């Protein structure tokens, strides 16, 4: 056992802490991404913490603790709540083509007990989708929203824009299977929808499925980590 979040020890392979060829454990960004915002993550003293994992911990306000796991009596009953607590906050945005569907989905998100941060647009007048997609993606990347939903005519352009923002994994979903897969396998944190391609009933089902599907971790963790490593190569160039 090489790592733990607050009280719980994390075993391989689901924790995302993998042994190197020399037997030394490595804490990956994927493991940090699966840790709750504002929590503590304990790792063994000889664990190699990758630069990407440290960046992800800082972004998610996660405190990395190195050393032996303290006794249960020495650990607070609960990790301190992040400030502000974004765990139930969903950022939403749409261009004029998605304005009507956004309005409907905002009400639905409220029914599901989510807090909604609406970046616009606020009327059916023509606007440029890149501006709204960037605004949503930035809230997610900064940790001010746990997830984002962007709506335009087809959902394609908004996904392209959102995926330019470091830390964002945006997925265009058009049915329940793609919604489930994008969360469980790809750890998507932004959903894009095409208002001209799906109706409001299906849109609600996709949103609910997408938000309620947990990240699978396990064998998927190293692949998501590689997605983020590609991003880091260009950030460092």
Give catalytic residues, as residue numbers.
Answer: 185
117 CA to centre of own chain: 16
User: Are β-strands 3-5 and 40-43 bridged in parallel, bridged antiparallel, or unpaired?
Assistant: antiparallel
Q: Hey, CA dihedral for 131, 137, 143, 147, is it positive or negative?
A: positive
Q: For tokens 């998610």, name the residue.
A: 60
The phi and psi torsions of 68 (rounded to 5 degrees) equal: -70, 145
Beta bridge partners of 194: 152
Q: In 10 A of CB 194, how many CB atoms?
A: 22
The phi and psi torsions of 195 (rounded to 5 degrees) equal: -65, -25
Q: Where are the beta strands (DSSP E) in the chain?
A: 3-5, 8-10, 17-19, 25-27, 40-43, 48-49, 63-66, 89-94, 115-118, 147-152, 170-172, 190-194
Q: For tokens 């004029």, name the residue.
A: 96
Torsion of CA 33, 36, 37, 38, to 10 degrees: -120
């Amino acid at each position: 056992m090489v790592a733990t979040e607050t009280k719980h020890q994390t075993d391989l392979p689901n924790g995302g802490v993998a042994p190197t060829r020399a037997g030394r454990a490595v804490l990956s960004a994927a493991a940090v991404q699966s840790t709750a915002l504002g929590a503590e993550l304990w790792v063994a003293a000889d664990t190699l913490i990758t630069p990407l994992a440290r960046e992800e911990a800082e972004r998610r306000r996660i405190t990395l603790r190195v050393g032996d796991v303290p006794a249960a009596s020495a650990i607070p009953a609960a990790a301190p709540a992040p400030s502000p607590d974004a765990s139930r906050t969903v950022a939403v945005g749409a261009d004029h083509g998605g304005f009507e569907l956004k309005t409907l989905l905002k009400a639905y998100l409220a029914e599901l007990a989510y807090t909604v941060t609406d970046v616009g647009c606020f009327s059916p007048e023509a606007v440029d989708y890149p501006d709204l997609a960037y605004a949503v993606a930035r809230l997610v990347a900064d940790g001010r929203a746990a997830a984002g939903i962007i709506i335009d005519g087809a959902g394609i352009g908004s996904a392209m824009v959102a995926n330019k923002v470091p830390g964002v994994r945006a997925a265009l979903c058009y049915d329940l299977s793609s919604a489930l897969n994008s969360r469980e396998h790809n750890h998507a944190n932004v959903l894009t929808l095409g208002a001209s391609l799906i109706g409001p009933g299906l849109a609600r089902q996709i949103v609910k499925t997408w938000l309620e599907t947990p990240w699978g971790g396990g064998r998927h963790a190293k692949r998501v980590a590689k997605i983020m490593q590609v991003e880091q190569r260009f950030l460092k160039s």
